[in-house]
């Protein structure tokens, strides 16, 4: 992959700032969630979803995984998936 | 194919170092995954206190999380600056990233010291062991990143970090963002979702 | 010696620098392969000696040759040595020497990182074995179960040597893992598509993926153990709410992929040797590739079949039994493909071929007892008996070790330019095959009749003395066969016949170079058009003896060794419970790493 192609696909600084704003807002919301009693029954899945969203934004855009060639996606997602499955199995076996 | 061309030939057209580094990141997913799994398996099983609800300082950690997220922003801005050959902003953003990382570490140090004062050490109970090992490992990774970033800042200052060296910065960025992403998981699982308490 | 800059050379012809310094600073994958091979073989003999002493002790009932404590150290070190210091590095020797040649590359992706892996391995191996000098060799089994390994129940330094030693070796393996994955993905010659790669290279890739995913788990498990012992943490402390099973889960999450890390490369070797000496392409190349990948994937899902006796519950036991049985399928597929390769071929029974066939036969036997273990119910009778010892020695010794010898006899001419003696080789093979059968087959019924594992002696009343005695005789036959092999090696180096490029008439790219290959491997970059480049008309372009122009060859570097030394010094800190080695070692590692990063070094 040559440098020119990579640059066309790079998000520009404005996009990065926008993502940073989203990340900040979501973090604030996550913090706030904990103080809203009405949300208590769904707070765990809500927080997990919000964090997953932050995760995807950072990995997809800051780490450039979304525009990049799919090889990198595989190299990352396979071990990540493996770690997640192992985690779930350990929780199932030991709790 | 000439010998010089042969030396630079790649099967995929992608940078070998980038491939190797993503592989390393994949491996680190298993490392942190194991630490986080252990934390979760042992959560709420401490026989003595203090544990999560008594000791974790959520507002403070939310701020440090924000600091780390902003450092990722500084990092992508640094990479953009290096790629476009902007010496001044290369230095500014690389230094900012390192500084924000250092601030995050400062928060960690404050937090750890506070916990020790309140009677939680790595050997006090299960929570102490899992918490300090997990966050300590993450902190160590941040520290390595800060050293890496400082090195790059100095190189940029010495005019040795032109656009042809952008891949070095990109790889440092991958590392830095990954460390940030691990923190997102730790923050959620340890701080936000604390169920804690003593068994 | 200065930096690599002064050691750069533009080489027109094949020669390599000589002298010890050139070996210490080498970054050439071929030399690193030889270093791995020699070191690994020495440790193989050490592990073998440990085995022979154990067998001598077990030869008679109620024997008093060694004490119980000494026996614990022997079986622990035998297992640890054979797995981590012998078989894995012997495989690494082949990864290093053969893979770049098979894919048409001039070296691996990161030559200095490659050297670093070797030096860390060697220093780690010495670290581990230095425990003998302190009379504190590891004694908790190669699997170190908690909480036997806690500071309370293992107060000496034995377990510290073990945990820290393995940690050091893990660093070496991980670094090599990243290196080889990048190499295989990105440094294949033009036309060398993934589905044209030799099976050995494919199996290397799957193995390295297993390494980089499984080793982090044991890294964490060992950190927990070391922290428990050193800092009083509670990971395996039941009184504080911990669970000793956490160790078993984490260890076997690593440990089961580990056994596939051990066997897959040797399956790859066999997949090269059998077609060559059957003068027939491997039957079902694609299926063999997919089976290897499937074994790697499923291998991640079976770990608790090592834990059937701990009380996981019926659901867990059923799941792990089922998955374990499932893994027999791709394994069986490979075996059928190997047999089908030989069927109808013009088979030449060279020593290498005999070892490859021996692998298949012994692995089938080991696989059958393995399937017997996969049923959780029968495993409750078999576990912790010699039946298990029989199983894994059939797959590890009859399997992996024979496979490695097949590779040694196969690639020796390529590596050293001379042939090993075939008659001597055949005697070696038959002695080893017969010795293995005599040693390990009786262990099946010894185990069924109730003899537990890891016991330093047994009562005469068990009626197992004659079987044990036979097993001991078998082990000494194996030992003698090794002496014969050493004699063969020495003789070949001195006056073996010259090998030529392709003494076996094999198909893959490494046989297109001279023997040994020139330092730059290929005078021009190969262009590949076939799965069997040397067996197909126009399968690969002609590789001239001399390169058309000067070839840049990266010089050596001593920074990988210095960095490795820094790492070892660092690990002295938790071993000796002192702070300063951590500071000195850490500083040296960082200093060396910076120099490594900034020295001029071009591929």
Question: How many CB atoms are closer than 10 A to CB B158?
Answer: 8
- Taking contacts as CB-CB distances below 8 angstroms, the residues of chain A near B16 are none
Task: Select from C179, C216, C235 the Cβ nearest to the Cβ of B129.
Answer: C235
CB count in 10 Å sphere of residue C583: 13
- Token pair of C389, please? 């010892």
Say if residue A81 is exposed, middle or buried (CB neighbours under 10 Å; 0-12, 13-18, 19+): exposed
Band of the pLDDT at A4, cuts 50, 70, 90? very low
Chain B contact set for C214 (CB, 8 A): 30
- A82–C213 C-beta distance less than 8 A: yes
C250 Cα to chain B: minimum distance (Å): 8
Residue stretches of chain C with pLDDT short of 50:
1-9, 12-14
| DSSP string for C313-366 | -HHHHHHHHHHHHHHHHHHHHHHHHHHHHHTTS-----HHHHHHHHHHHHHHHH
C-alpha to C-alpha distance for B114 and C420, rounded to whole angstroms: 68
Q: A94 contacts in C (CB within 8 Å)?
A: 243, 245-246, 249
pLDDT at site B6: 67
Looking at residue B133, the DSSP 8-state letter turns out to be H
Confidence (pLDDT) at A8: 47
Count of Cβ atoms closer than 10 Å to residue C582 Cβ: 15
- The tokens for C238 are 């039941």
Across C355-368, b (16+ Cβ under 10 Å) vs e yields bbbbbbbbbbbbbe
Q: Does B123 touch chain C (CB under 8 A)?
A: yes
- The model carries a pTM of 0.96
pLDDT at position C552, please?
84
Contact C109 B199 (CB under 8 A): no
pLDDT classification of A27: cutoffs 50, 70, 90: very high
A-chain CB neighbours of C300 within 8 Å are: 82, 86
Determine, for residues C312 and A93 on separate chains, whether the beta-carbon distance falls below 8 Å. Answer: yes
User: C231–B123: do the CB atoms touch at under 8 Å?
Assistant: yes
Selecting from B23, B27, B122 the residue whose C-beta is nearest the C-beta of C182 gives B23
Torsional class of A19: left (φ above 0), alpha (ψ -120 to 50), beta (otherwise): alpha
Distance of CA B152 to the CA centre of its chain: 17
Q: Check CB contact under 8 Å for C231 and B31.
A: no
In this prediction, residue A5 has a pLDDT band, given cuts at 50, 70 and 90, of: very low
Which CATH superfamily groups domain B14-192? Cytochrome c oxidase, subunit III, four-helix bundle (1.20.120.80)
DSSP letter, residue B125: S
**pLDDT, tens digit only, all 199 positions of chain B:** 666 676 778 999 999 999 999 999 999 999 999 999 999 999 999 999 899 989 999 999 999 999 999 999 999 999 999 999 999 999 999 999 999 999 999 999 999 999 999 999 999 999 999 999 999 999 999 999 999 999 999 999 999 999 999 999 999 999 999 999 999 999 999 999 986 544 3
- Note if the bond before C516 is cis, omega within 30 degrees: yes
- A93 with C212: Cβ contact below 8 A: no
C62: left (phi over 0), alpha (psi -120 to 50) or beta: left
- For residues C291 and C350, the answer to whether their CB atoms sit within 8 Å is no
Chain A positions in Cβ-Cβ contact with residue B170 (cut-off 8 Å): 64
Q: State chain B's mean pLDDT as an integer.
A: 94
Closest CA to C509 of C483, C529, C486: C529
Distance CA C278, CA C262 (A): 25
Q: Check if B38 contacts C (Cβ < 8 Å).
A: yes
Rounded Cα gap, residues B93 and B78, in angstroms: 5
A56 vs B: CB within 8 A = no
pLDDT at A39 over 70: yes
**Contact call for B65 and A75, based on CB within 8 A:** no
- CA C131 to each of CA C139, C160, C162, C196: distance values in angstroms, whole numbers, following the listed order: 11, 10, 9, 46
pLDDT of residue C602: 73
pLDDT value of position C11: 52
Tell me: ipTM over 0.90: yes
**Strand pairing class (C9-11; C551-553):** antiparallel
Partners of residue B192 in chain A, C-beta under 8 Å: 30-31, 33-34, 47, 51
Taking CA–CA distances from B171, the nearest residue in chain A reads A63
Cβ within 8 Å, pair B33-A95 = no
Sign of the Cα torsion A20, A22, A25, A31 reads negative
Q: What does the buried/exposed string (b/e) look like for C371-389 if buried means 16 or more CB atoms within 10 Å of the residue's CB?
A: bebbbbeebeebbbbbbbb
pLDDT of residue B197: 47
- Choose the closest CB to C243 out of A79, A86, A94: A94
Are A79 and C212 an interchain contact pair (Cβ–Cβ within 8 Å)? yes
**Tokens 């024997």 found at:** C63
Q: Which residues of chain B are within 8 Å of residue C524 when distances are taken between CB atoms?
A: 1, 3, 6
Q: Which residues of B touch A17 (CB under 8 A)?
A: 73
Exposed / middle / buried, residue B124 (Cβ in 10 Å: 0-12, 13-18, 19+): buried
Q: Would you list the domain boundaries of chain B? A: 14-192
- Nearest neighbour of C186 by CB, restricted to B16, B122, B125: B16
Q: Do A27 and B62 touch (CB under 8 A)?
A: yes
Dihedrals φ, ψ of C537, to 5°? -60, 120
């Amino acid at each position: 992959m040559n440098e020119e192609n990579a640059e066309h696909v790079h998000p520009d600084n404005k996009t990065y700032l926008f993502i940073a704003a989203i990340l900040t807002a979501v973090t604030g919301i996550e913090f706030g969630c904990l103080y809203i009693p009405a949300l208590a029954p769904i707070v765990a899945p809500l927080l997990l979803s919000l964090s997953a969203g932050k995760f995807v934004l950072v990995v997809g855009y800051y780490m450039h995984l979304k525009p990049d060639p799919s090889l990198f996606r595989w190299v990352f997602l396979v071990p990540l998936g493996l770690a997640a499955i192992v985690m779930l199995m350990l929780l199932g076996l030991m709790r | 194919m000439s010998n010089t061309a042969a030396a630079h030939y790649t099967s995929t057209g992608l940078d070998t170092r980038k491939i190797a580094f993503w592989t390393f990141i994949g491996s680190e997913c298993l490392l942190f995954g194991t630490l986080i799994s252990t934390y979760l398996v042992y959560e709420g099983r401490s026989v003595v206190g203090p544990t999560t609800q008594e000791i974790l300082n959520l507002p403070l950690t939310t701020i440090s999380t924000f600091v780390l997220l902003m450092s990722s922003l500084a990092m992508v801005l640094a990479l953009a600056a290096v790629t476009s050959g902007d010496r001044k902003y290369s230095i500014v953003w690389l230094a900012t990233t390192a500084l924000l990382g250092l601030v995050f570490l400062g928060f960690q140090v404050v937090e750890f010291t506070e916990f020790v004062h309140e009677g939680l050490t790595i050997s006090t109970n299960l929570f102490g062991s899992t918490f300090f090992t997990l966050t300590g490992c993450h902190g160590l990774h941040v520290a390595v990143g800060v050293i890496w970033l400082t090195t790059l800042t100095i190189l940029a200052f010495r005019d040795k970090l032109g656009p042809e060296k952008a891949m070095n910065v990109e790889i440092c960025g991958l590392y830095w963002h990954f460390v940030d992403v691990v923190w997102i998981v730790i923050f959620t699982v340890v701080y936000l979702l604390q169920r804690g308490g003593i068994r | 010696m200065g930096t690599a800059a002064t050691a750069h050379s533009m080489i027109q012809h094949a020669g390599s620098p000589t002298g010890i310094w050139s070996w210490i600073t080498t970054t050439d994958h071929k030399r690193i392969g030889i270093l791995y091979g020699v070191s690994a073989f020495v440790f193989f003999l050490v592990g073998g000696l440990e085995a022979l002493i154990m067998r001598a002790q077990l030869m008679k009932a109620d024997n008093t040759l060694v004490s119980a404590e000494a026996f614990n150290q022997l079986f622990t070190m035998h297992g640890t040595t054979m797995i981590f210091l012998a078989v894995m590095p012997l495989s690494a020797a082949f990864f290093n020497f053969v893979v770049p040649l098979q894919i048409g590359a001039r070296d691996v992706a990161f030559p200095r990182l490659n050297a670093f892996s070797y030096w860390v391995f060697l220093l780690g191996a010495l670290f581990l074995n230095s425990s003998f000098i302190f009379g504190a060799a590891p004694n908790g089994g190669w699997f170190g179960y908690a909480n036997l390994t806690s500071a309370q129940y293992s107060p000496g330094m034995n377990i510290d040597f073990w945990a820290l030693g393995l940690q050091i070796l893990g660093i070496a393996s991980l670094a090599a893992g990243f290196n080889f994955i990048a190499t295989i993905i990105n440094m294949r010659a033009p036309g060398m598509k993934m589905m044209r790669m030799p099976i050995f290279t494919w199996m290397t890739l799957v193995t390295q993926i297993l390494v980089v995913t499984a080793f982090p788990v044991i890294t964490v498990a060992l950190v927990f153990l070391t922290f428990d012992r050193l800092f009083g943490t509670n990971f395996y402390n039941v009184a504080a709410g911990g669970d000793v099973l956490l160790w078993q889960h984490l260890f076997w999450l690593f440990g089961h992929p580990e056994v596939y890390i051990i066997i897959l490369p040797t399956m790859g070797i066999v997949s090269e040797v059998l077609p060559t000496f059957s003068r027939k392409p491997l039957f079902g190349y694609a299926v063999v590739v997919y089976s290897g990948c499937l074994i790697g994937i499923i291998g991640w899902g079976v770990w608790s079949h090592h834990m059937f006796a701990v009380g996981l519950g019926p659901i867990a036991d059923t799941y792990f039994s089922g998955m374990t049985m499932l893994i027999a399928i791709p394994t069986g597929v490979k075996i059928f493909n190997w047999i089908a390769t030989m069927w109808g071929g013009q088979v030449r029974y060279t020593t290498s071929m005999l070892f490859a066939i021996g692998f298949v036969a012994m692995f089938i036997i080991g696989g059958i007892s393995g399937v017997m273990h996969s049923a959780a119910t029968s495993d409750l009778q078999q576990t912790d008996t010699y039946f298990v010892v029989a199983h894994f020695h059939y797959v590890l010794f009859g399997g992996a070790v024979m496979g490695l010898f097949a590779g040694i006899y196969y690639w020796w001419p390529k590596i050293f330019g001379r042939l090993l003696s075939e008659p001597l080789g055949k005697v070696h093979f038959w002695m080893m095959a017969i010795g293995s059968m005599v040693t390990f087959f009786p262990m099946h019924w010894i185990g069924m009749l109730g003899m537990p594992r890891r016991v330093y002696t047994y009562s005469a009343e068990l009626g197992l003395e004659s079987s044990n005695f036979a097993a001991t005789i078998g082990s000494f036959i194996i030992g003698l066969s090794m002496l014969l092999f050493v004699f063969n090696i020495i003789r070949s180096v001195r006056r073996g016949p010259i090998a030529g490029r392709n003494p076996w008439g094999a198909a893959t790219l490494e046989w297109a170079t001279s023997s040994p290959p020139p330092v730059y491997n290929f005078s021009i970059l190969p262009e590949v058009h076939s799965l069997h480049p040397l067996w197909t008309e126009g399968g690969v372009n002609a590789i001239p003896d001399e390169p058309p122009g000067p070839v840049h060859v990266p010089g050596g570097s001593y920074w990988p060794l210095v960095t490795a030394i820094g790492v070892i010094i660092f690990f002295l800190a938790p071993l000796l419970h002192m702070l300063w080695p951590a500071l000195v070692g850490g500083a040296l590692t960082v200093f060396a790493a910076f120099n490594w990063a900034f020295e001029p070094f071009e591929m």
